[in-house]
Amino acid sequence: MSDAETATVRVIADRDVCIGAGMCVYADDTVFDQDDDGLVVLLVEEPPDGEGVRRAVQTCPSGALRLAGR
Amino acid sequence: MSETTTAPTELPVYMLRDGFDPAPELGALRETERVGRARSPFGIDVWVLTRHDDVRAALADSARFSNAAPVRGVPGMPKMDEATIRRMRAGNPLLVDPPEHTRLRRFLTPEFTVRRMRRLEPRIHEIVDERLDAMQRSGPPADLIAEFALPVPSLVICELLGVPPEDRAGFEHRTGRLLNMSIPVDERMRLQAESRAYMSGLVAREQREPGEAMLGMLVREHGDDLSTDELIGIANILLIAGHETTSNMLGLGTLALLRHPDQLALLRDDPDAVGPAVEELLRWLSIVHTGVVRTTTTEVEIGGTRIPAGELVVFALPAANRDPGATTDPDRLDVTRGEVGHLAFGHGVHHCLGAPLARLEMRVAYPALLRRFPGLAEVPGTAAFRSFHVVYGLTELQVTW
């Protein structure tokens, strides 16, 4: 169980695709931020595998986010 | 001339509602045929996607489902030359595909970041409180739509764009009729021209003397990249989308809560419940019937149905958001549901630009209203659902407290 809890995932953000909707920031603002242009900025590249990160990837409207290897 | 002024008397299946719910025939279409056919209020045959997964996939696929529909004759529409049509479409990000869409949208994304919204929040509280004060001073009964649901988003978008708030009655009236499909198409075209003319006056003023709000910013920072027609188009769509949508969520959402008192209490009494409750109201009400019609750029196949290239496709958002394949017990309003992934703001590159603003306004306005007037109640028989409109909602809702 403890392995699963501490596992991390590598998030890949494509800023050319990003439309600045900000859904990822709502999902987890410890991992995702927006720059002055509104485009996604990763605060942590390999965050713990958590619900917020998964939700961000899943709900990103433009498909700019994915998890490496998936 | 006479047939050019006929208004549609029958609504297509994707606009049919039964109070808060999509009409049973829309749900039946989703569960049986999956992909339907309908005649739009413009008198044009369209394909209708109904399932959550189909709608989501098509919304994400701007290469095969294009927003840049070729201009075609709409029955009853006055003839216009190419240049006029181009001018009327200029600057509207909903009528172009990437990369043109990306160019237009990126002028605006900095204005709708989560951080910007947080800075705006205190001002939204003030606007909401001022409207509640005004309602309290006049005393019950009050029309919640005219006194609260419409003015709050209108005043917010006025301030954000730099539109004079005293012009509110004019643009609210124009937008309300422009998006009303029971009004003949030639009159709606005239209203669209009026609305552009109004905005061109505001843009000209900003070009002479750029203000501090978004119109002034666009002129100052992007005046060389955007044509005047594009500036007018962008400002116009922001103004229309900025008040007409959120106002209907506030009105219809409040009525939904009043008729589900247990859900209302959760939202009113627990600040942590507000965010998920707003998402659930967005899903359950799905006030935007379809969003913008798409045109297939190639033959596509959806669940065994072949749609040829060059066909028009609409996405039945209320059906998709009530799809039992995507949400458990989808017809039940459950503000604690906590699920995300609804399609009320669309999906893909055209996902609602103003979604963060709409969310913020709702997160502030619902609890403020319900806490100010703990005894808020509808005056029975006054809730008037409107059917013929691009955005579903109420034309009137008398309340007491």
ipTM field: 0.90
Residue B159: strand pairing partners = none
Q: What CATH code is carried by the domain that includes residue B164?
A: 1.10.630.10
pLDDT of residue A1: 45
Which of A20, A27, A55 minimises the CB distance to B113? A20
pLDDT of residue B278: 97
pLDDT of residue B10: 82
Interface test with B, best of A16, A26, A41 (most B CBs within 10 A): A26
pLDDT of residue B87: 85
Where do we find the tokens 């996405």?
B315
Instruction: Give me the domain span that covers residue B199.
Output: 2-400
The beta-strand segments (E) located in B221-311 are 294-296, 300-302, 305-307
Query: Could you list the mean pLDDT of each consecutive 10-residue stretch along chain B, which spans 401 residues?
Result: 47 95 97 96 92 97 91 67 84 93 94 94 98 98 98 96 94 91 88 92 96 95 94 94 94 98 97 96 97 95 96 97 96 91 96 96 98 98 93 97 98
Residue ranges of the domains in chain A?
A: 2-67
B340 to A62: CB separation less than 8 angstroms, yes or no: no
Q: What is the CATH number of domain A2-67?
A: 3.30.70.20
pLDDT of residue B9: 62
Distance (Å, rounded) from C-alpha B92 to C-alpha B114? 23
pLDDT of residue B73: 59
Buried b / exposed e along B370-388 (16+ C-beta atoms within 10 A):
bebbeebebbeeebebbeb
pLDDT of residue A2: 47
* Chain A contact set for B106 (CB, 8 A): 20, 37-38
Cα B182 to chain centroid distance, Å, stands at: 18
CB B48 within 8 A of CB B79: no
pLDDT of residue B222: 94
Interface test with B, best of A16, A29, A62, A65 (most B CBs within 10 A): A62
Q: How many distinct structural domains can be found in chain B?
A: 1
* Chain A contact set for B118 (CB, 8 A): none
Long-range contact set of residues B190-193: C-beta below 8 Å, sequence gap at least 24: B192/B88, B193/B88
Q: Which two tokens stand for residue B237?
A: 């769509």
Flag residues of chain A having pLDDT under 50: 1-2
DSSP one-letter code for B288? B
- List Cα–Cα distances, B54 to B69, B156, B341, in angstroms: 20, 35, 14
Q: Are strands B398-400 and B377-378 parallel, antiparallel or unpaired?
A: antiparallel
